[in-house]
Chains A and B, each alone.
Chain A
Amino acid sequence: MRRVIGLILPPTFSFLEMMWRICPALAVGCTVVALVPPASPTPLLLAQLSGELGPFPGILNVISGPASLVPILASQPGIQKVAFCGALEEGRALRRSLAGECAELGLALGTESLLLLTDTADIDSAVEGVVDAAWSDRGPGGLRLLIQESVWDEAMRRLQERMGRLRSGRGLDGAVDMGARGAAACDLVQRFVCEAQSQGAQVFQAGDVPSECPFYPPTLVSNLPPASPSKGSSSVPWPVVVASPFRTAKEALLVANGTPRGGSASVWSERLGQALELGYGLQVGTVWINAHGLRDPSVPTGGCKESGCSWHGGPDGLYEYLRPSGTPARLSCLSKNLNYDTFGLAVPSTLPAGPEIGPSPAPPYGLFVGGRFQAPGARSSRPIRDSSGNLHGYVAEGGAKDIRGAVEAAHQAFPGWAGQSPGARAALLWALAAALERRKSTLASRLERQGAELKAAEAEVELSARRLRAWGARVQAQGHTLQVAGLRGPVLRLREPLGVLAVVCPDEWPLLAFVSLLAPALAYGNTVVMVPSAACPLLALEVCQDMATVFPAGLANVVTGDRDHLTRCLALHQDVQAMWYFGSAQGSQFVEWASAGNLKPVWASRGCPRAWDQEAEGAGPELGLRAARTKALWLPMGD
């Protein structure tokens, strides 16, 4: 387990939400320092509670202070993980400022959710779902409402009628639906609604609401297409619902997935097949079918894309506070003088090499992109030397354009690969393993030239093939059911592919590390862009020759070149869904800093070497956990 967790909570959290974050950390044995904003009284209750933990003083500590304390807390030497919940921009700034620090960062950002209303839904019940999501005290933020065009009028009429019956007031009134969330939230909503109106949206407000400041009436905004400035940039604040129409289910998925936010969503449809298709297709962390806002401690809750990738609840919530046994506590690699603007920007030039030893000059390797070897955009190559300093071969000098092409090829291959059955994926991995074994002598001889002993080289090749087979066998079918108290019906915990995964391989173990990283990524349905070992990329390129025949095009793409430059390109790329970096400490820091762009989950080695031949580190469950993301699918049942 990690030892001390720093928890940063926003002012809009209720007591229950705070406990959701604190209890799992305490349960696995960590101690918690919570930084809470001073404006609300809830933290005082939290502090009182922590004071009552007599036998174990100090496991829960509460600091009430402003947001400026956040970087100070995060950079304390004892803290090993910082979990931040709050607004998007603050999360980004925190990610940038914590790059390279000892503490790991988990982000849970944004409060917006989505409700998808199809024409086969029970519209009145879906309207109740909207009330639960946006016009009550249970929902964290505003709602994007997508209504199928054929039921638009019906749905709007019922929504407006229902809004008229909502009551807002002080909580102690006893007969209210929603309260207030402070003057700051009220201002935010005012601004959003004014902007929307100035862009031609229609705003409808109703309900029995006091007119003093912190109370804001339930609001329904329509006629605000995605291209309008206020819609695209910010998330929808509470208590606003922004309604938009869609024509078909496919269009609904495109519109729903067309934002950077990926928190939670609900699908309302009485047709099982359609509901499941939409549920599986939405890129969010939690999907409810014909319900909204259900929560349970045993179900993981989190998000993807810009909602951050930290989880609470369920097994994923516990993994947040654990690390694999045997891995060292994080070392700080903060170098204050790392210039983020110039890191990896220019490619240092390489001297021309001497004549090549061997029967005939081999042509330089190209980049393996889109299923075949291509010439690099820069039309230049770099020499690779073996352990005795002689020229071993030439590989291509990849650049920003090549990275772009590789990521595009990976994206093109992704839908087909993610849609493959686990058996088909396993079959391809096994085919690659067989191809590796056939090529054993070539690979072993190349490894020998790099300085390995023959026996060790052959063992490395065999281990690589075994790893491929093992991951192929571990490819699981989708989802397993969680037991949830109080709900009739299953909740599925699905493991879905991340998307396009960028991997920068370590210098050592040029073949084994490459295969050990490639296999889990592919097994879980991702497509990859890999930067092989800088010392000897030739091993990886040999494997590519087999991949060209065995794999579909674009599944795995290998780009060689200057490692720092390629790392920069990949880390700054907004369409790469996750990145694994096993290079230098400085590179790790840059990667963490740059991931703030699209908040991609990052796994960086911080310059520590990893024993790739050991099972625990080379093929352990950590790789499997990081190669996929979770989605919770709720299916309440009953008729």
Chain B
Amino acid sequence: MFAFANFCTYFRGTYSVWISKIQVNHPAVLRRAEQIQARRTVKKEWQAAWLLKAVTFIDLTTLSGDDTSSNIQRLCYKAKYPIREDLLKALNMHDKGITTAAVCVYPARVCDAVKALKAAGCNIPVASVATGFPAGQTHLKTRLEEIRLAVEDGATEIDVVINRSLVLTGQWEALYDEIRQFRKACGEAHLKTILATGELGSLTNVYKASMIAMMAGSDFIKTSTGKETVNATFPVAIVMLRAIRDFFWKTGNKIGFKPAGGIRSAKDSLAWLSLVKEELGDEWLKPELFRIGASTLLSDIERQIYHHVTGRYAAYHDLPMS
């Protein structure tokens, strides 16, 4: 649970000093993004270690129209036992308590998730999406009510979506106010603000929205819902990580980062870890400050670990499904 941070928030003054002069040059950020993927490669046992670390960052997610209690239960068990026991034993990591960071579901399925995790004897948090996920185009009243109901049901982390229309029409103060209200509705729960960067139009808007979300009290900023046409890409992530670093320099508060959507292979996840390590440093490589929103990523990581331990490529049925 993240403590609610108190910082000076006289909006207009801060806005003009911190945000209005920001410029982001798109081609230069694209070039940096290409370099990162090429320049930090990890092999052999270090790769296995990095992959296990990546597992502990995953928010195992299922956000489909056809979720029912049965697949939620399977998911929660997979969250508790992400990698097969014998593989972990071979790496001597079976007693380190390796689980995923959280389980992420729709608000209506929070009860099922809490029950399943309790039955599995696991205390990882349940994260719920809220505020009209994924489009956010519903009335404010219902959006706030969704948050409250999800918290009542037992979700300890809430992933909200911002109102993109406020960004695109430049109503930064209104955006700030809305997120403040989400923060209040969450109460003690951990707030992740989804910026839906694929719909914000430009990298400069991404930076500004990130800053506003952090100023308004988010514990995490998240790139996307996973349902847009363009989800988590490196250029957008670079801009958001720079915003997190600038916010830390200005206030001393560390805000977390979560990319979501489109991260499917183990190689991708290693690139993401390198990116965070390069831009923010080792302190951010903890589940309290970094999450990866993914569903099929876990099976790919498991297959890579299987290959590392046994030297063979696994078949689909060799590893337990989630």
**Quick check: B27 and A290 within 8 Å, CB to CB?**
yes
Across the interface, B29 reaches (CB within 8 A) one of A125, A177, A268, A489, namely A125
- Residues in B whose Cβ lies below 8 Å from that of A175: 39-42
The verdict on B229 contacting chain A, using a C-beta distance below 8 Å, is no
Q: How far is the CA of A498 from the CA of B144 in the complex (A)?
A: 68
Q: How far is the CA of A177 from the CA of B278 in the complex (A)?
A: 12
**In the complex with contacts A165-B278, A638-B30, A639-B202, A122-B25 CB distance below 8 A:** yes
Could you tell me which residues of chain B, from 255 to 293, have a CB within 8 Å of some CB in chain A?
278, 281
Could you tell me which residues of chain A, from 146 to 188, have a CB within 8 Å of some CB in chain B?
157, 161, 165, 174-177
Could you tell me which residues of chain B, from 11 to 69, have a CB within 8 Å of some CB in chain A?
23-32, 39-43
B23, B25, B41 interface centre (most CB from chain A within 10 Å) = B25
A residues within 8 Å of B by Cβ? 120-122, 124-126, 128-129, 157, 161, 165, 174-177, 268, 270, 290-291, 488-489, 636-639
B interface majority secondary structure? helix
A interface majority secondary structure? loop
**Quick check: A488 and B27 within 8 Å, CB to CB?**
yes
Q: How far is the CA of A291 from the CA of B25 in the complex (A)?
A: 10
Across the interface, B23 reaches (CB within 8 A) one of A128, A129, A270, A636, namely A270
**Quick check: A291 and B27 within 8 Å, CB to CB?**
yes
- Residues in B whose Cβ lies below 8 Å from that of A268: 25
**In the complex with contacts A175-B39, A175-B42, A639-B202, A270-B278 CB distance below 8 A:** no
**Quick check: B27 and A638 within 8 Å, CB to CB?**
yes
The verdict on B242 contacting chain A, using a C-beta distance below 8 Å, is yes
In the complex, which residue of chain A has the Cβ closest to the Cβ of B26? A638
- Residues in B whose Cβ lies below 8 Å from that of A122: 23-25, 28-29
In the complex, which residue of chain A has the Cβ closest to the Cβ of B30? A638
How many Å from the CB of A145 to the closest CB on chain B? Answer: 16
How many Å from the CB of A593 to the closest CB on chain B? Answer: 45
**Quick check: A128 and B242 within 8 Å, CB to CB?**
no
Q: How far is the CA of A42 from the CA of B78 in the complex (A)?
A: 53
**Quick check: B41 and A291 within 8 Å, CB to CB?**
no
**Quick check: B40 and A128 within 8 Å, CB to CB?**
no
- Could you give 29 example pairs across A and B, Cβ below 8 Å? A120-B23, A121-B25, A122-B24, A122-B25, A122-B28, A122-B29, A125-B24, A125-B25, A125-B28, A125-B29, A126-B28, A128-B31, A157-B249, A161-B245, A165-B278, A174-B43, A176-B39, A177-B39, A270-B23, A290-B25, A291-B28, A291-B31, A488-B27, A636-B28, A638-B26, A638-B27, A638-B30, A639-B26, A639-B202
How many Å from the CB of A406 to the closest CB on chain B? Answer: 46
Given A125-B24, A165-B281, A639-B26, 9 extra CB contacts under 8 A: A122-B28, A157-B249, A161-B245, A175-B39, A176-B39, A270-B25, A636-B28, A639-B202, A639-B203
- Residues in A whose Cβ lies below 8 Å from that of B31: 128, 291
Q: How far is the CA of A165 from the CA of B242 in the complex (A)?
A: 14
**In the complex with contacts A124-B242, A165-B278, A489-B27 CB distance below 8 A:** yes
In the complex, which residue of chain B has the Cβ closest to the Cβ of A489? B27
In the complex, which residue of chain A has the Cβ closest to the Cβ of B242? A124
- Residues in A whose Cβ lies below 8 Å from that of B41: 174-175
- Residues in A whose Cβ lies below 8 Å from that of B278: 165
In the complex, which residue of chain B has the Cβ closest to the Cβ of A161? B245
- Residues in B whose Cβ lies below 8 Å from that of A121: 23, 25
How many Å from the CB of B293 to the closest CB on chain A? Answer: 25
- Residues in A whose Cβ lies below 8 Å from that of B249: 157
How many Å from the CB of A485 to the closest CB on chain B? Answer: 15
Across the interface, B28 reaches (CB within 8 A) one of A129, A174, A489, namely A129
- Residues in A whose Cβ lies below 8 Å from that of B43: 174
- Residues in A whose Cβ lies below 8 Å from that of B24: 122, 125
Across the interface, A290 reaches (CB within 8 A) one of B28, B39, B245, namely B28
- Residues in B whose Cβ lies below 8 Å from that of A291: 27-28, 31
In the complex, the 5 A-B pairs of residues with the closest C-beta atoms, listed nearest first: A125-B28, A122-B25, A270-B23, A636-B27, A638-B26
Q: How far is the CA of A638 from the CA of B249 in the complex (A)?
A: 29
Q: How far is the CA of A291 from the CA of B26 in the complex (A)?
A: 11
Q: How far is the CA of A176 from the CA of B27 in the complex (A)?
A: 23
How many Å from the CB of A487 to the closest CB on chain B? Answer: 9
- Residues in B whose Cβ lies below 8 Å from that of A161: 245
How many Å from the CB of B257 to the closest CB on chain A? Answer: 16
- Residues in A whose Cβ lies below 8 Å from that of B245: 161
B residues within 8 Å of A by Cβ? 23-32, 39-43, 202-203, 242, 245, 249, 278, 281
Q: How far is the CA of A252 from the CA of B141 in the complex (A)?
A: 54
- Residues in B whose Cβ lies below 8 Å from that of A270: 23, 25
- Residues in A whose Cβ lies below 8 Å from that of B26: 638-639
Q: How far is the CA of A514 from the CA of B249 in the complex (A)?
A: 67
In the complex, which residue of chain A has the Cβ closest to the Cβ of B43? A174
**Quick check: A128 and B27 within 8 Å, CB to CB?**
no
In the complex, which residue of chain B has the Cβ closest to the Cβ of A123? B23
Q: How far is the CA of A454 from the CA of B280 in the complex (A)?
A: 84
- Residues in B whose Cβ lies below 8 Å from that of A488: 27
How many Å from the CB of B140 to the closest CB on chain A? Answer: 31
How many Å from the CB of B267 to the closest CB on chain A? Answer: 14
How many Å from the CB of A271 to the closest CB on chain B? Answer: 9
**Quick check: B28 and A128 within 8 Å, CB to CB?**
yes
In the complex, which residue of chain B has the Cβ closest to the Cβ of A268? B25
Q: How far is the CA of A229 from the CA of B30 in the complex (A)?
A: 40
- Residues in A whose Cβ lies below 8 Å from that of B27: 290-291, 488-489, 636-638
How many Å from the CB of A533 to the closest CB on chain B? Answer: 54
- Residues in A whose Cβ lies below 8 Å from that of B25: 121-122, 125, 268, 270, 290
How many Å from the CB of A120 to the closest CB on chain B? Answer: 6
Q: How far is the CA of A290 from the CA of B29 in the complex (A)?
A: 10
In the complex, which residue of chain B has the Cβ closest to the Cβ of A173? B41
In the complex, which residue of chain A has the Cβ closest to the Cβ of B40? A175
In the complex, which residue of chain B has the Cβ closest to the Cβ of A151? B21
**Quick check: B42 and A128 within 8 Å, CB to CB?**
no
- Residues in A whose Cβ lies below 8 Å from that of B32: 125, 128
- Residues in A whose Cβ lies below 8 Å from that of B28: 122, 125-126, 128-129, 290-291, 636
- Residues in B whose Cβ lies below 8 Å from that of A165: 278, 281
Q: How far is the CA of A120 from the CA of B24 in the complex (A)?
A: 10
How many Å from the CB of B30 to the closest CB on chain A? Answer: 7
Q: How far is the CA of A177 from the CA of B43 in the complex (A)?
A: 17
How many Å from the CB of B27 to the closest CB on chain A? Answer: 4
Q: How far is the CA of A291 from the CA of B35 in the complex (A)?
A: 14
How many Å from the CB of A563 to the closest CB on chain B? Answer: 54
Q: How far is the CA of A638 from the CA of B235 in the complex (A)?
A: 13
A124, A126, A129 interface centre (most CB from chain B within 10 Å) = A124
How many Å from the CB of A246 to the closest CB on chain B? Answer: 19
How many Å from the CB of A135 to the closest CB on chain B? Answer: 12
Q: How far is the CA of A28 from the CA of B24 in the complex (A)?
A: 43
- Residues in B whose Cβ lies below 8 Å from that of A174: 41, 43
Q: How far is the CA of A125 from the CA of B242 in the complex (A)?
A: 10
How many Å from the CB of A22 to the closest CB on chain B? Answer: 27
Q: How far is the CA of A122 from the CA of B32 in the complex (A)?
A: 13
Q: How far is the CA of A126 from the CA of B278 in the complex (A)?
A: 17
How many Å from the CB of B104 to the closest CB on chain A? Answer: 31
In the complex, which residue of chain B has the Cβ closest to the Cβ of A136? B35
How many Å from the CB of B209 to the closest CB on chain A? Answer: 16
Q: How far is the CA of A447 from the CA of B136 in the complex (A)?
A: 89
B28, B43, B202, B242 interface centre (most CB from chain A within 10 Å) = B28
Q: How far is the CA of A124 from the CA of B23 in the complex (A)?
A: 10
In the complex, which residue of chain B has the Cβ closest to the Cβ of A166? B278
How many Å from the CB of A631 to the closest CB on chain B? Answer: 21
Q: How far is the CA of A165 from the CA of B276 in the complex (A)?
A: 12
How many Å from the CB of A137 to the closest CB on chain B? Answer: 11
How many Å from the CB of B124 to the closest CB on chain A? Answer: 32
A120, A125, A175, A268 interface centre (most CB from chain B within 10 Å) = A125
How many Å from the CB of A148 to the closest CB on chain B? Answer: 13
How many Å from the CB of A277 to the closest CB on chain B? Answer: 17
In the complex, which residue of chain A has the Cβ closest to the Cβ of B238? A124
Q: How far is the CA of A639 from the CA of B201 in the complex (A)?
A: 9
- Residues in B whose Cβ lies below 8 Å from that of A638: 26-27, 30
In the complex, which residue of chain B has the Cβ closest to the Cβ of A157? B249
Q: How far is the CA of A15 from the CA of B315 in the complex (A)?
A: 44
- Residues in A whose Cβ lies below 8 Å from that of B30: 638
